[in-house]
Structure 1
Amino acid sequence: MAIVPSDIPIGALTVAREAAEAAGRMAIAYFRHGSPTTAGIDYKHGGSPVTEADLLVDAFLRERLMNAAPDFGWLSEETADAPARLNKRHVWVVDPIDGTKSFARGDPDWTIAVGLVRDGAPLAGFVYAPVTDEMFEAIPGRPALLNGHPIAVSRRAALAGARIAGPRPVLDALHASGAGIERAARIHSLALRIVRVADGTLDGGVAANGPHDWDLAAAHAILMAAGGVMLTAEGETPLYNRRSTRHDAVAMAGPELVEPLAAALGRRERSRS
């Protein structure tokens, strides 16, 4: 039986899981496999797209999650940040559609990511891939699950031959360094990339400098519950709900592979600076 901490409102994590699935059904109504979305598209400062579906999902999730736990903080890619979250022990960290570009052009690798952090650390996570109907989840006291079945990270310990996913320039640099990795196909949703490490499909993954809390937190909780580890290129564990939501480059893998992978990523990052 799951051991839900007493300071989590009864039923809040069940609501979060159900809301993530419902949000996926809401978003997929605007999705066209191999074709542009039917949702209206706008562009944020800097040029990244945001669709009508992103905003609808964001509003839906905020209503459901904040009703389930009114005293928790809120942080979402599609909601204006409010400093009040910094004074909260518990914060919902949400990416309404992680992989908006993929969603908008009709590629399947996008997800709904709902995380809960406590004191800056991942506590629970739900990452739903609507196109493949896959729910990855982690709650305290239980193993990580994929559609109700336990998952675990790869036990590979050496970089040579390890199947690693990430941005192509980063993988090319790691490969050129002599690490001997196998470059896996790009997974555009970072949350999905991380949970593919959690379920052992990938031996490891990397993300270039600049991911935000909402890209990482939900999937990080699932990775940890599956026996995996996430480290920055400097070998530190990411912390959440800080004033800045941005993170350095990160590596994720099983406990034996993650340190050499993070070290190789760190060398790549330092060579670029």
Structure 2
Amino acid sequence: MDQFIQDIVREAGEAIRPLFLNTGVKYTKNGEHDVVTEADLLSNEILTSRIHGAYQDHGIISEEIPEEHWQTDREYTWIIDPLDGTKMFATGWPLFGVMVALQHEKEIELGAIYFPVTDELLFAKRGGGAWLNGERLQASSRERLDSSFGTASSWSGKWVSPKEQRRRLMAYMEAMLSRNMTGMSIWAICVSVKSVAEGKQDWMFTGGQWWDFAPAKVILEEAGCLVTNGDGKPLVLGEARGLIAANPSLHPQLCDVLGLSCGE
């Protein structure tokens, strides 16, 4: 299945590449920023049909499949974000990717992300490392947050109240000033995962959904990151409580900056 997951993300990505700058928003789901394009639907159709064709007894969870049709009771489950960064895609920014993970019972075993514009394929296997176009990746070795560089996003999700979200973001902004940290925000988790796994950025925190976090988890861990949910606690299968990732030296410092207690 190692090669299969890489083949299908590439196939889906190559299929939607011609639609970039040539298709608009088809409809919205949960607000004006939660958009769906023809590319989302085409990628989803390719991925699901290939998986069903090769592994009829496997389950599928996809952002573009209604929750009542998710198959979560199988030994193997494929978790799909057919087009991560749809808002960027729809507004003409070349910052998007196709994300797929394979869950075996209680572990994410494989993760793959394909970036159609740059023809880059990010792949990880539990215990086998993280790779970008065949080159092994290693996360940043920075030991202090001072002067570090990362990606920050809101903790979008019902588990964080607006008041708590403001508190965390204000704590982050204060740390940016007092510790000379540099941060950026991109509406595409796949881009942040790639940058942190490559060591080009030192850390990331973000909201999102399980189809964002499943491939991110195995890729970032195999690159040497500590990955938790947005509260600094262990990331639980299927939950959407945010994600924090950094190397083991920086992760507790980042949690401390945000006023979170890491660990169990």
Question: How would you bin the TM-score normalised by the shorter chain?
Answer: 0.7 to 0.9
Match among 260, 263, 266 for residue 253 of structure 2 = 260
The answer to which of 45-54 and 80-89 deviates more is: 80-89
Q: Which runs of 4+ in 1 moved over 4 A?
A: 168-172
The alignment's TM-score, normalised by the length of structure 1, stands at 0.82
2:157 aligned partner: none
Match among 29, 34, 45 for residue 44 of structure 1 = 29
2:43 aligned partner: 57
Which 5+ residue runs of structure 2 have no aligned equivalent?
155-165
1:64-75 superposed matches below 5 A? 64-75=50-61
Q: Is the 8 A contact 1:16 1:65 kept in 2?
A: no
Which 5+ residue runs of structure 1 have no aligned equivalent?
1-11, 269-273
1:6 aligned partner: none
The answer to which of 172-181 and 61-70 deviates more is: 172-181
Distance (Å, rounded) in 1 between the aligned partners of 2:64 and 2:44: 6
Residues 194 and 171 of structure 1: CA distance in aligned 2, closer, same or farther (over 3 Å): farther
Distance (Å, rounded) in 2 between the aligned partners of 1:29 and 1:173: 42
Deviation, structure 1 residue 134: 1.1
Residues 256 and 31 of structure 1: CA distance in aligned 2, closer, same or farther (over 3 Å): same
Give the aligned CA root-mean-square deviation in angstroms.
2.3
Deviation, structure 1 residue 25: 0.9
Look up the equivalent residue of 1:96 and give its one-letter code: P
2:195 aligned partner: 196
Distance (Å, rounded) in 1 between the aligned partners of 2:11 and 2:69: 28
The alignment's TM-score, normalised by the length of structure 2, stands at 0.85
1:81 aligned partner: 67
Residues 70 and 204 of structure 1: CA distance in aligned 2, closer, same or farther (over 3 Å): same
Match among 220, 223, 227 for residue 223 of structure 1 = 220
Distance (Å, rounded) in 2 between the aligned partners of 1:81 and 1:181: 43
Residues 266 and 258 of structure 1: CA distance in aligned 2, closer, same or farther (over 3 Å): same
Distance (Å, rounded) in 2 between the aligned partners of 1:160 and 1:81: 42
Distance (Å, rounded) in 1 between the aligned partners of 2:243 and 2:178: 17
Match among 146, 167, 173 for residue 132 of structure 2 = 146
Q: Is the 8 A contact 1:164 1:204 kept in 2?
A: yes
Q: Is the 8 A contact 2:203 2:247 kept in 1?
A: yes
Identity across matched positions, percent = 29
| Number of matched pairs | 247
Look up the equivalent residue of 2:28 and give its one-letter code: Y
Deviation, structure 1 residue 84: 6.0
